Structure 1
């Protein structure tokens, strides 16, 4: 790099550092205060759900009990997920002094084959509807976590969620307005419209913000789980056996039968055998080290390892000297993320199905150094491809020919936006005509809006910790509005099937098969320092999740921000990777920046080939806990991006 260019980088970094974010930001006013706690902390996507978590601590429960109560509450509140969705978690077990992973992602049902969808002229499974559903994972994940690591009964943990479903709760504007926005889709499914549209036929058919929203069918289902547990306890079963009885009732009993009946009534594929065969995996997470900090993620059935890969690449650079959010720093982040995400798009998939993912090579420090050498420091590279990690684990790559042709050309005649394969139920109102001025289907504006909606497809996140040493980081999702509700269970089904591919040329590891898990975006995080919990952090937002979490981590470790400052700090988002939803599109060179990024940084990025967009909040709704071992306290952070909220004591 010539001297003039080096000076420009340095000046940009210095000016941005002075103008927006000095190396240490403790004097900066945050929109929310740090949550200081000595005994416990509970954070999640909705204030009422955080209260449910706090209630478990008041009952004497631990962080796992609290996390399970928050999971139940957020699922009941449709916090961009429902009870038929999927759950994944990292838990620090202070007894064993280790991090364990919870894999409660559903699987493709019987009949969900590549041939099935190709006959419907689909390049990918649909985004919505009964054929988008994998088997429910959240109920099983919650009950296994509670059984193995919690202390309270299922009755106690589900208590707040049952009360909210049965007696109702004042629904918040975010969810109520999402229901109204998606009402035309919801009308296509009998039980969804009955639950979600209490004012059918009126101008506004969804609940009004603040209206008491009741879900009697869901309340009955949750009560059945408690009933199964209590009967087992009365029969002399121990706590774990009693929770297992509730698990069996959901996946093998009357709840399962009604769920399957309801799914199949709408044209879905889930069978009783699918539910009975599915199980939760307690597994070993993957990890890397960054400047002495151990960072843990779930393995390749989610996108979590991309954060570890990006950290390995960025560890080869002097990030602090670049200046926080200077043009050079933004470029470094963008390129490192693109290198890691290109590997995700090709190599990640369900580790319980062949072929085996090359995880050891992907997480090799030497592989990261080789990938870092590919960074062009003068401009963005829109053609970054997956690497070859096999050589870094002493093996030959069996997919060299696919790599040479990646990314594959669109299939001739395939229509990724084909209509979903279900028919309008008799008597259901027809979709409304878009209002005047709304983006019309097929327009460039509508296409971009659809892309961004899919890219940031939301969920929630849960963080909990207690003075006994338990730490829980969860990113549950699936069954977001608009979801198909399965019969009289009140359970909204997942839409995760769309994350599969149907052509091995895209990813030989993530091709749709019955019984297989799609590679999901969901990605909780835990970090240890000196063998003790250091950071627990997670965020919602589809393919943006590990991008925001990477920057959060660097904000704390490299730039000395507090956990709240790091949660609110301005992040960037790359759109160069293939989205995990919809038509799996990519927008190379496109970057989302904070609106306060100064003109000289914008000018430099434009010169480097970036297409920029700007927003007032770019942190993503990050929730996090920092462990202050010197003082024996917790620092909780919850960004001001959404409705996320925390309580500590």
Structure 2
């Protein structure tokens, strides 16, 4: 039994966070666009409809399966640090950690570059065709919804919870989100005319290319990263004390890469590289393929314990090795090898939870290496959205747009969206694999997923949730392939997540042994873990 019906179709499918963005994606498919066209249109719309969770100033990693080539590609839609952003700069200013919010944590906006790159390489439509619906939402408005407006104890980054910050510190944000000094009401038509004008400038640049699709897309990129929009962003950031400048914007590039992949019981699972946390999903699969999960019973105490302990080992390696592979050598092949998983698997005690952080040594052939135990810290949360599309030709795209939340950075005057603050994810220890360096991309939690079976498209999926993303999606995947659940049931099944390892976000702390379990999991299952350090 599920709370929602399983939706099925033959000509295409669009899954997004907001219903209007899903509608826009479907309309693009009906107009003849492919999965990438529809996803890009939906993501542009999400940046208008859910600015507390994602805007154009943020990031958008993607995985794309092309039916024409039969290959999966990864788009590195991740931000980059400014040239002035060094560990020495922050320590000289008295920072022990990069701040959680504000323009000191801002990097180069990556989402627009990623979306245009996806459109150019894998789409069929023009920017005008896919971005006009988002421009019209910004210009004509949409009904203010509870997630954006608040209040909500969960969505503490809604407008409601930011009123004092906007009024006291960020006047550009207050002008937009608190018109006449008042909080909008749910159902009010909310407009962002300056953002609509930003879209119009991009579309004008494309139209000037006189019908050449690729030249038009490149013209829009030039305006955003090297032209008028870039200058407005750089001027605002420099005036307000941030680090990125016009040269950082002009130098920014979006990379199309090979994904990482493993085969799990006949399913080829694809993730983005170690600049994301994506390989940790695959490391967990490698560990778990040595166990008979179905025999343990879905969400039994033994099953939850096993999956959690495997997660702890995989995430310990994430902390020890993952980072931007253009700056460090990440032993990805060794981390994902069956031999390494076989070496690490005996560390899982079937009766006892580990309370230490235990990265391995994939290059030295050892199960463990020296590591400090994580420290306790406080909770941190922000928003993310996710978009999946498949079309009639079975092209697939999975994208996890996030960042540039209105709660963490002021909207740029005249543009109007904030900049992403994911630079906070860097470590100020230059020797750390995720240590800050100019031009480097932070290890992000954003982690879309694609699955093929017998060489054919099978699933595209993802979620919000920071460090929980590759725990919740792992459980969803196992629900389908191990426990034969229908997709909707697999989505709705109660989840659990560990907070054992260091958080990717400020203040990078952990809570050793802490396991969060949904209340729908039976009491007798949860009771086993009470006081057991799990």
User: What TM bracket, shorter-length normalisation?
Assistant: over 0.9
Residues 89 and 524 in structure 1, CA contact (< 8 A), matched pair in contact too:
yes
| 1:473 matched residue in structure 2 | 398
Does the alignment pair 1:64 with 2:64? no
Which stretch of the first structure deviates more once superposed, 487-496 or 275-284? 487-496
- Whether 2:509 is the aligned partner of 1:585: answer yes
| Paired residues for 1:32-51 under 5 Å | 32-51=4-23
Shift of 1:110: 2.3
Unaligned runs of 5+ in 1: 1-28, 410-446, 611-649
Cα 1:334–1:405 change in 2 (3 A) is: closer
Distance 1:295 1:408 in 2: 30
Q: Is the 8 A contact 1:90 1:524 kept in 2?
A: yes
* Aligned structure 1 segments of 4 or more residues deviating by more than 6 angstroms: none
Q: TM-score, normalised by structure 1?
A: 0.79
1:263–1:487 contact (8 Å) kept in structure 2: no
2:299 maps to 325
What's the counterpart of residue 340 of structure 2? 367
In structure 2, the residue matched to 1:564 is 488
**Post-superposition offset of 1:35:** 1.2
Correspondent of 2:416 among 477, 490, 506? 490
In 1, Cα distance between equivalents of 2:427 and 2:357: 20
Conserved in 1, the CA contact under 8 Å of 2:237 and 2:243? yes
The gaps in structure 2 that reach 5 residues or longer are 151-157
Which residue is 2:84 aligned to? Answer: 111
- In the alignment, the residues of structure 2 paired with residue 112 and residue 149 of structure 1 have an alpha-carbon distance, to the nearest angstrom, of 33
User: Residues 99-138 of structure 1: CA distance to partner in whole angstroms, max 9, x if unpaired?
Assistant: 0000121101121111121123322211111111110001
Q: What displacement does 1:607 show?
A: 5.2
TM-score, normalization: structure 2? 0.95
Q: What SS does the corresponding residue of 2:101 show, helix, strand or coil? A: coil
Cα drift, residue 599 of structure 1:
2.8
Tell me the CA shift for residue 383 of structure 1.
0.7
Q: Answer whether contact 2:87 2:430 (CA < 8 A) is retained.
A: no
Q: Does 1:225 align with 2:199?
A: no
What residue number does 1:280 align with?
254
Q: Does residue 522 of structure 2 align to residue 598 of structure 1?
A: yes
Q: CA deviation at 1:293?
A: 0.7
Structure 1 distance, partners of 2:371, 2:72, is 39
* 1:503 corresponding residue in structure 2: 429
CA separation in 2, counterparts of 1:369 and 1:608?
26
The aligned counterpart of 1:383 is: 356
Q: 2:353, 2:513 within 8 Å by CA — same for their partners in 1?
A: yes
Q: Secondary structure at the match of 2:459?
A: strand
1:175-195: per-residue Cα shift (whole Å, max 9, x none)?
112111112223312322211
* Structure 2 Cα separation of the partners of residues 207 and 111 of structure 1: 38
Q: Cα offset for 1:598?
A: 2.3
Q: Offset of 1:408 from its aligned partner?
A: 7.8
Q: Which residue in 1 is equivalent to 2:155?
A: none
Could you tell me which residue of structure 2 aligns to residue 464 of structure 1?
Answer: 389
Matching of residue 255 in structure 1 with residue 221 in structure 2:
no
The 1:593–1:115 alpha-carbon spacing in structure 2 relative to 1, beyond 3 Å, is same
**CA apart distance, 1:603:** 2.3
CA contact (8 A) 2:37 2:125 kept: yes
Structure 2 residue matching 1:35: 3-state secondary structure: coil
SS in 2 for 1:90: strand
Alignment of 1:180 with 2:160, yes or no, is yes
1:295 maps onto 2:219 in alignment: no
Give the drift of 1:457.
3.0
In 2: Cα distance, 1:226 partner to 1:600 partner:
59
Aligned partners of 1:291 and 1:208: how far apart in 2? 50
Partners of 1:168 and 1:118 in 2: CA distance: 44
Structure 1: distance between partners of 2:91 and 2:268: 43
Cα deviations by residue, 1:495-541 (Å, 9 ceiling, x for unpaired) = 10111011256xx2110011010000000000111001111111011
Specify the alignment match of 1:430 in structure 2.
none
Alignment of 1:249-648 (within 5 A): 249-353=223-327, 355-391=328-364, 404-407=370-373, 451-452=378-379, 454=380, 456-482=381-407, 483-504=409-430, 508-606=432-530, 608-610=532-534
- C-alpha deviation, 1:252, in angstroms: 0.5
Counterpart secondary structure, 1:373: helix
2:110 aligned with 1:137: yes
- Alignment match, 1:191: 172
CA contact (8 A) 1:186 1:192 kept: yes
Q: How many residues align?
A: 524
Q: Contact between 1:199 and 1:207, CA under 8 Å: does it hold in 2?
A: no
Q: After the TM superposition, which of the residue ranges 329-338 and 370-379 deviates more from structure 2?
A: 370-379
2-structure distance, mates of 1:199, 1:35 = 43
Return the alpha-carbon distance in structure 2 between the equivalents of residues 260 and 597 of structure 1.
50
Preserved contact between residue 358 and residue 371 of structure 2 (Cα < 8 Å) = no
Kept after mapping to 1: 8 A contact 2:356/2:374: no
The CA deviation at 1:79 is 5.2
Report SS of the residue matched to 1:295: strand
> 1:214 maps to which residue?
191
1:102 aligns with 2:75: yes
8 Å CA contact 1:502, 1:511 repeated in 2: yes
Which protein is bigger by CA-based radius of gyration? 1
Corresponding position of 1:630: none
Secondary structure, counterpart of 2:185 in structure 1:
coil
For 1:405 and 1:153, how far apart are their aligned partners in 2?
51
Task: Give the Cα separation in 2 of the matches to 1:190 and 1:257.
Answer: 20
Offset of residue 285 of structure 1:
0.2
Please give the alpha-carbon distance, in whole angstroms, between the structure 2 residues aligned to 1:504 and 1:115. Answer: 9
Q: Is contact 2:85–2:436 with CA below 8 Å preserved after alignment?
A: yes
1:89 to 48, 62, 65: 62
Q: CA deviation at 1:57?
A: 1.0
RMSD: 1.7
